[in-house]
Amino acid sequence: MFGYLQRVDQRRWADTYLRGLLSTPGRKTVRHMARTLALPASAPQALQQFVTASPWNWETAQRELARLAVSALSSPAWTIGTVLLEKRGRHSVGVRQHTDLPSGRRVNCQIGIGLFLTDDRSSLPVSWRLLMDDAWCGDLERRRRARIPDRLTPLPARALALDMVTQVAGRGVPGSLPLVFGLDAAWDVTHLALQLAFQRRAFVIEVPASQPVIPVSHPDAPAPVVARPVTAEEGARTARSRYRAAGDRPLSMPVRLASRPGAPAGRQVLQLIAEPSKTEAGFHRYWVTSMRGVGAEQVRSLARRSVTTDATLRHMKDDLGLLDFEGRSFPGWHHHMTLASAAFHFRHLDRLPAPVMEVRSA
C-alpha cells in the first residue's frame, strides 16, 4: 500500500507505524508503539518525524485504500463519518470550540470528515479531511506553523465530503456510487441535497423528525408558489392514515424540501422514507432520497449502512489509535488518519504481511 513512497526509510517507517497501531495496547503514541515493538531509543523521534514532517503524499495511499475496498466489498456505497478529536490548548491544526450534539458538551476539538466504502456487512475507511475555518485559514502565522497548504480555503463539511469522492474515484473506483449520510453527517440538508442533485449523484440523507418538508400530491406537478411546510414526522403520520401496509415496512412519500420561494432546492422532488417504531406508534427514523425509482425497503437497507460506518469508527477509536495523534501540523494529521485507515484495512482484510525482523533507526 505504501510501496509508492520514494525512500526506503519512508517505507520502513510506514510499515513500523502500522505495526504499532495494530499491536500497541492503550494509547498509540509513538513512544508507546516503539516500546511495544522493542525498537531502538531513537525510534520514537523517527516515527514522529515520518508522520509529522516527512513530505509524502497521503492522497496516493487513500486512492489505493479505495481500490482495495471496492475489490473487497459487494455493491458498495459511499458513506460519511464524522469524528471529534478532543485537544488541549489552541495550537493543534484546525482546533476549535464545538458543541457535541449527543452530549451537549462544549469541547475543544478537531473535526474530521471521513469517507468510507460500505456494503451490507463492512465499512472501510478510504479518505479524510480536516474541517478548517477562517480563524485558521485567515491567520498567516498559524498557517505557517501548521504547514497548511497555500491553496486551502475553508469549506463546509458537505463540500469536503464531495471533494473526497472526486479525489479517490477513478482507477477502478466508480464515482457514481450512491452517497449515504447518517444523521450526524447530514449538515444543512437543503444545501446538501441541492449540491448532490447538481452533481447528478444518487443519495440517501437521514433527517431529524423536525426536518421541514412539503408533501407532494403528484411528482410532476410544478412547485407551488406558497406551500405550508410540515415536519417529516407530521408528513409521515398524515400519510400513514391512508397507509394500509402491516408490520415494520417503511412508508414512502414524495416531498420537496422547504426553502425560500423560487429556490432550486424547493423544485426538487425527493422521496421521504419513514421507518416505523417497533415499540410505539409512529416512526423513529427518516430519510430523504433522490432514488425515487427504488423501493422503500431497498432505500432503508442502503441507509442503514451508516450504522456499519459508526461501528468502524468506534473500532478505529478504541483499538487503532484514530484519536491519538499528538502532532500539530496539517500534513501530520492527514498522515496519521491515513495510516489508521490502512491499519483497519489490514485487520479487516487480514492482509498484514510477515513481520519485519529488524528495524533500523532513521
* Domain positions in the chain: 8-176+309-349, 203-289
User: Residue 151, Cα to own-chain centre: how many angstroms?
Assistant: 22
Cell matching residue 13: 517507517
DSSP letters spanning 241-261 = TT----TTPPEEEEEEE--ST
Along the 362 residues of the chain, how does pLDDT read in single tens digits? 899 999 999 999 999 999 999 999 999 999 999 999 999 999 999 999 999 999 999 999 999 999 999 999 999 999 999 999 999 988 999 999 998 877 788 999 999 999 999 999 999 999 999 999 999 999 999 999 999 999 999 999 999 999 999 999 877 788 889 999 998 877 789 989 999 988 899 999 999 999 999 999 876 666 554 568 999 999 998 888 765 554 578 999 999 998 765 556 557 899 999 999 887 778 989 999 999 989 999 999 999 999 999 999 999 999 999 999 999 999 999 999 999 999 999 999 874 444 443 444 44
CB 212 within 8 A of CB 229: yes
Q: How many CA atoms lie within 13 A of 132 on its CB side?
A: 24
DSSP letters spanning 97-123 = EEEETTTTEEEEEEEEEEEEEE-SS-E
CB 203 within 8 A of CB 193: yes
- State pTM to two decimals: 0.90
Across the strands, what pairs with 80?
115, 181
| H-only helix segments in the chain | 8-23, 30-36, 43-52, 58-72, 134-137, 140-146, 157-168, 189-198, 232-240, 296-303, 305-319, 330-349
Single-letter amino acid code for the residue at 91: H
User: Residue 180, Cα to own-chain centre: how many angstroms?
Assistant: 10
